Amino acid sequence: MGEGTGDTGEILRRVGGDTPLLEVRHVIKRFGSFAANDDVSLKVMPGEIHALLGENGAGKSTLVKIIYGSLQPNAGEILWKGKPVTVASPAEARALGVGMVFQHFSLFEAMTVVENIALALPNCKATRELADTIARVSANYGLPLDPNAHIADLSVGERQRVEIVRCLLQNPELIIMDEPTSVLTPQEADQLFVTLRRLAEEGCAILYISHRLEEVRALCHHATIMRRAKVVAEADPARETVNTLAQLMVGNEIIRVIRDKGRLGPEAILLKGLTQISQEAFGVSLQDVNLSVRSGEIVAIAGIAGNGQKELFDALSGEEPLEKEDMVIFAGEAAGLMDINQRRLLGAAFVPEERLGHGAVPALKLSENVVLTRHGTGEGIARRGFTRFGKAGRIVEKVTSLFDVRKGVLDPEARSLSGGNLQKFVVGREVERTPKILIIAQPTWGVDAGAAAVIRQSLIDLSRKGAAILVISQDLDEIFEIADRIAVISRGHLSKAEDADTLTPEKVGLLMAGGAEKKGAAAA
């Protein structure tokens, strides 16, 4: 049990208050006729780390957006330090003392870290002084950042650090965190917990959304659990087990992922001396990457964010053309100079880590997103110059039912899905094609425990049907649950893929961390 675990009474005595810092009373939020929050009430005490739990689409993000002023409720009340308030905008929320770290990043890609942070602070310019403050605060909280780096050159994990540091610089009394650890390594997450416990001891409250129930048990003092837009339970996470918490969330048992041995077929993915010098100022160059994945197996690439995962995905998906065509061979064909559609024609499918924007176009309907990825792949979506939207709609229905994608209307815009439901849709859309080759980054990022098990099982089943699957993931639990072999990427170098049964999470974690130390030393 973590050192921050204790009962709420003790926290109250420590920070000396009995009025909730935040109270939400009977909030209702509708989108059209669909209620995303239905009579939701919640209290957060000063200095309390309060978990907000619930399956994908339960209404957690909607609720925190209301608290942060980016959505307005249809009914209900918000009290701040006992007084009713109207939070008309995020600026008003920040003025009250509410900060937020988003699940979907809200940073401007073409700007630097310091420029982005300056934008969020009232009357602030991107000065050298601010850059120094960012460097100091980020180092102090164990979230190292280069203030002058461009956001576009940062990995997802590093972008999240920017969001967290930006929030800390606003001196908030309540920080809302929407799945902050989903892109962090175990070591980074541990460091974040130290930070959060320190903030809580100083009296800052944290409203913490996470699907990682083990960390909720270790970190959080109290939990409010939502299901289908309503609050269904409250709990002291330390007194629950991961299973009882999961059952409160989803209302039934979680499936167990079963990994039997697959029958190996021919080599389907071959990387031969894959070298790609990054043109980005803070990019990572891929250095002589060699790997082979056979039909029927799952190979996972573990690594700390920012060690070449993005560059490797881009090289495999055709986003970045390579120097030589035989650096990437798919199903026996040299694919290094092909674009993404030509690679799809060889039977390959791709799921990038950024599902909104990269994996799906936010303003397009789900069926239109299906058309985009299948147009020109010879799967019958386009015929004689006509697009068959009816067929795309049927694919949406099938994926929705197989992967339990929860949505308010039949064919919504991608951006209206909850984060986890969009992830289920993007993964399901590609798995449904039964590709021969699947390259997938962070398959269960932001997905609840039940859905994560469904996605992981679907990957195992796909590989056992003969697909070669390359998973890029930071989640060691996930890697050990599904991978047959594991390699570690560090500063653009890939280690030899070893049999998962001969490795332990500690050993892989050390390989990952060793790379990070070298990276830090090189940067220093």
By CB under 6 A, the residues from 327 to 346 that bind ligand ATP are: none
Query: Contacts with ligand ATP in 1-40 (CB under 6 A)?
Result: 31, 36
58 binds ligand ATP (CB under 6 A): yes
Q: How far is the CB of 368 from ligand ATP (least distance, A)?
A: 16
Residue 178's closest CA among 245, 99, 122, 232? Answer: 99
What minimum distance in Å lies between the beta carbon of 44 and ligand ATP? Answer: 17
Which of 62, 116, 276, 317 is in the footprint of ligand ATP by CB under 6 A? 62
Contact status: 144 vs ligand ATP (CB under 6 A): no
Bridge partners of residue 108, in order along the sequence: none
Selected from 11, 46, 47, 56, the binder of ligand ATP by CB under 6 A is 56
Residue of 4, 47, 59, 73 interacting with ligand ATP (CB under 6 A): 59
Interface with ligand ATP (CB under 6 A), residue from 421, 458, 474, 495:
421
**How many helices and strands (H and E) does the chain possess?**
17, 23
Q: Does residue 417 touch ligand ATP according to CB under 6 A?
A: yes
Smallest distance from the beta carbon of 64 to ligand ATP, in angstroms? 8
Q: How far apart are CA 49 and CA 5, in angstroms?
A: 9
End-to-end CA distance of the chain: 36
Amino acid at 443: P
What is the nearest approach in angstroms of ligand ATP to the Cβ of residue 363?
12
Q: Which is nearer to ligand ATP, 66 or 270 (CB)?
A: 66
Residues in the chain: 524
- Count of CB atoms situated within 10 Å of the CB of 319: 15
What CA–CA distance (Å, rounded) separates 124 from 130?
9
Structure tokens, 25? 């009373």
Contact partners, residue 520, CB within 8 Å, separation at least 6: 144
Which 8-state DSSP code applies to residue 409? S
How many of the other CB atoms lie within 10 Å of CB of 459?
A: 25
User: What is the DSSP track for 9-51?
Assistant: HHHHHHHT--S-SEEEEEEEEEETTEEEEEEEEEEE-TT-EEE
Q: 31 - beta bridge partners?
A: 34
54 sits in which H/E element: strand 49-54
Residue nearest to ligand ATP (CB): 420
**Single residue of 69, 186, 237, 419 touching ligand ATP by CB under 6 A:** 419
Supply the Cα-derived Rg of the chain in whole angstroms.
23
Cβ nearer to ligand ATP, comparing 250 with 271: 250
How many residues bind ligand ATP (CB under 6 A)? The answer is 20
Q: Which of residues 390-409 bind ligand ATP (CB under 6 A)?
A: 406-408
Contact window for ligand ATP (CB under 6 A) among 51-59, 199-207, 292-300, 338-346:
51-59
Q: How far is the CB of 190 from ligand ATP (least distance, A)?
A: 23
Q: Decide: is 181 part of the binding site for ligand ATP (CB under 6 A).
A: no
Of the residues 4, 20, 46, 54, which one makes contact with ligand ATP according to CB under 6 A: 54
Q: Which residues bind ligand ATP (CB under 6 A)?
A: 31, 36, 54, 56-62, 406-408, 416-421, 446
